[in-house]
Structure 1
């Protein structure tokens, strides 16, 4: 309901000119093909099942929490159960996870309740470190695709699930901010609702295989030094193109040996406890990443940015091209990853 509260606040502002809402391009779920910049209607679902009502969803979530508390569930048990319940509700209506489901409902609320408040909704794709401002490569925290780079660079991630020809829709954070500023300037006191998808899959696509090769190239030339002062030597990452092949590999290569190590460790009074614990953490890390990114691993959609292209031509004067840049076509992906993004996450994210 956060989006509604912000809208209510905006309506009470005497001199408000417009409301800018940042959503995500992945409110589309797991659709394929060209995904248009179109708003959601209240109650619209991705799989066509009728009956989506936001107040009902809030009521169901509250009832579920009360049920868990009545059973005296621990905080951890309650958190796990509520996450699973949210996933069930999202999947029931066609969304792959709670994040995209709640983002879509936020858009619905704003579109339905905005009245005469001018509204622009920004839908960024996968946001990466800054292209230029406030300085190249700046990023805060581990998010989205950076989790893969961090895991790989630290030697925790040697394999993953994906499609070599998959297009990764990436966009630097400062380009998203510039698009937001441009939308605010353009739509001040305009009566309509506008949707802008901010990404690169249509104008300047990069394949998963390219990202994989550049990661290997960078961390081979610039190995991470771990806490013991040792270089982490990376190998070419293995990319599995199906969930079945990935699961077989993990079972044979890691899970079965880990089970054997667990038995030996118990027999030898926890002599191998550090080895077991370290290996177990690495396996859980990989499996957690696969679970987290499963909706996007085989995503076949291309995000249309026709509205954004019109915005670029409207607000960007030749003299301002270097200031209000948000055209993904200017990005040289190899240069960006080798000289901006990977150095940036090593500097600001690696611990």
Structure 2
């Protein structure tokens, strides 16, 4: 697949303009130079580390890889390495070795973590540090812990391993540090393969960065901050109850802490001349390396943007999504209308296998102790790719191979004009403001299929805008970069490869063309998994459901099915039910007065319901005062029975019967007064409804006998009932329509949102609960009163 270097566009290399000064070169084949060496490496479960291990096991039979791997949950280091060796690329090696155990025996496993590095083997020869926090915007303390403190601890352990009891070095190790080309920061022009000159005190910055966690945590617990967060949570969850609100408040506090730590890292980095806390801490990590490596062999490898492999272990090999993949897929789906890049800025991409080959070549060198060598593994100097070129290749690929699951089927791909970062920011900000206005309108709209559809569309738009905002913020600086990474050392090292090693270990970044790499290797690779998932979803149809088929359900009496009434199995509400109960006993004039009174109070009722469902119900129950409950009971059993049953949704009735046939206990929990639920007694084993208090004459007092069962009280009752009756809630079902029933739905293993309000719909989507529509086809209009 490789092509001659003179068949594609090349930029001038500094080495072509002058005789370059370069570091140590190779003198022989890599397998011979590294034969008998033990290479301790970190980051083996990462993108570069995995292929580095594969390459060593494949091409360097006399080299012993020793890998530092942290425990993850119950999986120890060896178990994690075993899982790694089960991957596709290691299968031929395992077969050749005689099995997975035999292949694992070739790898020395050290359980440990950064910065808690354990004792390293005394017979180590080379340490390759390619672990680190690679996200651009980690919390500041996390970035320092991994990229600075972790590096320091690793080097200290390495030096301890090669120091004898007398304090003398038993050998001079070679420390190979994998950094990033972007440690140069917000510079412009040529970046030499050398240490970056700056006066930053990395020890002071590390202390400050680590201390930031405690400071921000303390700030998050201040009364004014907690009040603000609690009010945010209450606006969304007050109907569901105090505990739900409290849990959401704490979630928001933790998110606030993370956001503040991310912002602290970004701002500190930029205040000192770096693009983000990742490049900042990696630059400080380099300073740690040169200080601690003052009398050992040190090499620092600085890859640019690492993407899928050019040739090995196969073209397009990649693990996970890196920098470019989310943007490529977003463009292919039509979700990225513009990008804040300078069209002529160079996007410095390098295939992963070239980076791995360069690292191993560096491992085989012998730098002078105390004189660090630097290597840029980049493409921009001799094989430049501009953002406009990249856009053209990606557009060409998706034009020929469109994705099926796109935002607007049939719509053309976005055409980028590269208007500049300011124009893109203006477009993005305008779109975010328009979304905010639409969201406020929809959140106040009456519940309906139309409002739910609009809310779903807004959620999708919000996701696209959030994606666009995140990557605009992260990559804006990189997209307008004017850095030129000099790669003379790397080029000289590449040219010193033995001729017999070129096929397996080449890393000259002028050895491939971008059309082939992007359109025939990279894009097909990064879209393959997406296409498979899209095809799988298409075959499966809808997502996994919590609306289980009950015909094969074996839970029997150990499961319950809990139903809400208003808006769930019946298209009614407590105000309408009150009018059913009250108006028949009034004269026509009194009916008009009563309806007018209810309508006058309606806005207040709605506001009360938004604040607290229990207070709303109590306000409605007050209107029952003076009602003769015995008379109402008689009316319900005679004239209202069929009327109420006619309001039950046919789909709900069928589902209730299915649960009864499956042997489940059916439970109705409602805010309606208990008298009005009498027609439903044949459908439910247990009915929990509002019990009105009465005076000595049997008339309603307007007060309840017990508090209304709403929000978290329903969940509490259900848990208590389950404990008394041996119910398995993980096998049980619940059906409700309101966000106030979120706690109850969360209590069972099979929750179903029925014609939900927007807040519950969104919660159901987040939790992957089923959403169904149960429509009532009443024989009479809603305003029609039951009569004899």
Distance (whole Å) between structure 1 residues aligned to residue 211 and residue 342 of structure 2:
40
Instruction: Please give the per-residue CA displacement for 1:211-242, whole angstroms capped at 9, x wherever unaligned.
Output: 101111111211112299x9675514324332
Q: 1:255 to 1:84 in 2, by over 3 A?
A: closer
Q: Say if 2:413 is the partner of 1:235.
A: yes
Q: Which has the higher contact order (CA 8 A, sep 6+)?
A: 1
Check the 8 A contact 1:29/1:100 in 2, yes or no.
yes
CA drift of 1:91 comes to: 1.8
Q: Residue 347 of structure 1 corresponds to which residue in structure 2?
A: 528
Distance (whole Å) between structure 1 residues aligned to residue 505 and residue 521 of structure 2:
19
Distance (whole Å) between structure 2 residues aligned to residue 143 and residue 108 of structure 1:
26
**Where does 1:1-351 land on structure 2 (aligned, <5 Å)?**
1-14=149-162, 17-40=173-196, 44-45=198-199, 52-73=200-221, 74-187=253-366, 192-226=371-405, 234-252=412-430, 254-269=431-446, 270-271=451-452, 272-314=454-496, 316-348=497-529
* Normalised TM-score (structure 1): 0.90
Check the 8 A contact 2:177/2:299 in 1, yes or no.
yes
SS in 1 for 2:339: strand
Check the 8 A contact 2:439/2:458 in 1, yes or no.
yes
CA drift of 1:19 comes to: 0.8
Distance (whole Å) between structure 1 residues aligned to residue 386 and residue 175 of structure 2:
35
Check the 8 A contact 1:139/1:349 in 2, yes or no.
no
Distance (whole Å) between structure 1 residues aligned to residue 159 and residue 530 of structure 2:
39
* Normalised TM-score (structure 2): 0.41
CA drift of 1:197 comes to: 0.5
Check the 8 A contact 1:155/1:232 in 2, yes or no.
no
Q: 1:341 to 1:231 in 2, by over 3 A?
A: farther
Q: 1:69 to 1:266 in 2, by over 3 A?
A: closer
CA RMSD of the aligned region, Å?
A: 2.2
SS in 2 for 1:213: helix
SS in 1 for 2:282: helix
Check the 8 A contact 1:120/1:187 in 2, yes or no.
no
Distance (whole Å) between structure 2 residues aligned to residue 123 and residue 194 of structure 1:
11
Distance (whole Å) between structure 1 residues aligned to residue 287 and residue 189 of structure 2:
23
Check the 8 A contact 1:312/1:326 in 2, yes or no.
yes
Moved more, 186-195 or 332-341: 186-195
Check the 8 A contact 1:142/1:349 in 2, yes or no.
no
Instruction: Please give the per-residue CA displacement for 1:109-162, whole angstroms capped at 9, x wherever unaligned.
Output: 110111322111000001110001111111112221222102112332121111
SS in 2 for 1:168: coil
Q: Residue 695 of structure 2 corresponds to which residue in structure 1?
A: none
Check the 8 A contact 1:162/1:240 in 2, yes or no.
yes
Distance (whole Å) between structure 2 residues aligned to residue 169 and residue 276 of structure 1:
36
Distance (whole Å) between structure 1 residues aligned to residue 188 and residue 481 of structure 2:
7
Q: Residue 48 of structure 1 corresponds to which residue in structure 2?
A: none
Q: 1:232 to 1:347 in 2, by over 3 A?
A: farther
Distance (whole Å) between structure 1 residues aligned to residue 319 and residue 409 of structure 2:
24
Distance (whole Å) between structure 1 residues aligned to residue 195 and residue 530 of structure 2:
35
SS in 2 for 1:180: helix
Instruction: Please give the per-residue CA displacement for 1:303-338, whole angstroms capped at 9, x wherever unaligned.
Output: 000111111122x12222111110011111101111
Gaps of 5+ in 2: 1-148, 163-170, 222-252, 534-788
Moved over 3 A (4+): 14-17, 188-191, 230-234, 348-351
Distance (whole Å) between structure 1 residues aligned to residue 258 and residue 437 of structure 2:
32
Q: 1:257 to 1:85 in 2, by over 3 A?
A: closer
How many residues in Structure 1 have an aligned counterpart in Structure 2? Answer: 340
CA drift of 1:348 comes to: 4.4
Distance (whole Å) between structure 1 residues aligned to residue 343 and residue 283 of structure 2:
29
CA drift of 1:62 comes to: 3.5
CA drift of 1:267 comes to: 3.6
Distance (whole Å) between structure 2 residues aligned to residue 190 and residue 349 of structure 1:
48
Distance (whole Å) between structure 2 residues aligned to residue 255 and residue 80 of structure 1:
19
CA drift of 1:246 comes to: 1.2
Distance (whole Å) between structure 1 residues aligned to residue 393 and residue 152 of structure 2:
42
Distance (whole Å) between structure 1 residues aligned to residue 201 and residue 429 of structure 2:
42
Check the 8 A contact 2:385/2:514 in 1, yes or no.
yes
**Rg: which structure is higher?**
2
Q: Residue 246 of structure 2 corresponds to which residue in structure 1?
A: none
